[in-house]
Amino acid sequence: MFPADVARMVTEQDRRVIASGMPMFLEEHLLEVGEGRDRVVNSRKMLIADGDGNPQYLVGVIEDVTERVTTRQRISHLAHHDVLADLPNRSASNAALAERLKRAGEAATRASISTASRRSTTCSVTPSATC
């Protein structure tokens, strides 16, 4: 998005706040600056009226939260992947298995579970099933 496009987007948001009189809160949305410099921002806008209720000021705050979002994503990735091999760890494997079993149960199918000992256990996936 080019600077002129950003200006049009901001102007349109300003018009909506002025027309409605309601504050605008946009959390963690992409602000396209261009050339690989896009940012994730929180935007807040509020209309300040004079004594007669007529628009007097429009206050806007844009907070750059790119580093916070990137760090949160990195921490989540590290929590579920081996640092050296970047492969899913036990936590990620257990979560994936639980999700697959849940989907299999919803589809009322049978699931095959391979264990570390390379034997396969097949069990019926029902709420009270045991293998």
User: Phi first, then psi: what are they for 130, rounded to 5°?
Assistant: -130, 150
Q: Express each pLDDT in 48-67 by its tens digit.
A: 989 998 888 999 999 999 99
Residue range 37-47: average pLDDT?
Answer: 92
Categorize the per-residue pLDDT at 78 as very low, low, confident or very high, splitting at 50, 70 and 90. very high
Q: Which helix (H) or strand (E) holds 80?
A: helix 66-80
CA distances from 31 to 47, 62, 76, 118 (A): 22, 10, 23, 49
pLDDT tens by residue, 102-130: 988 888 655 555 555 555 555 555 555 55
Instruction: Identify the band that residue 18 occupies on the pLDDT scale cut at 50, 70 and 90.
Output: confident
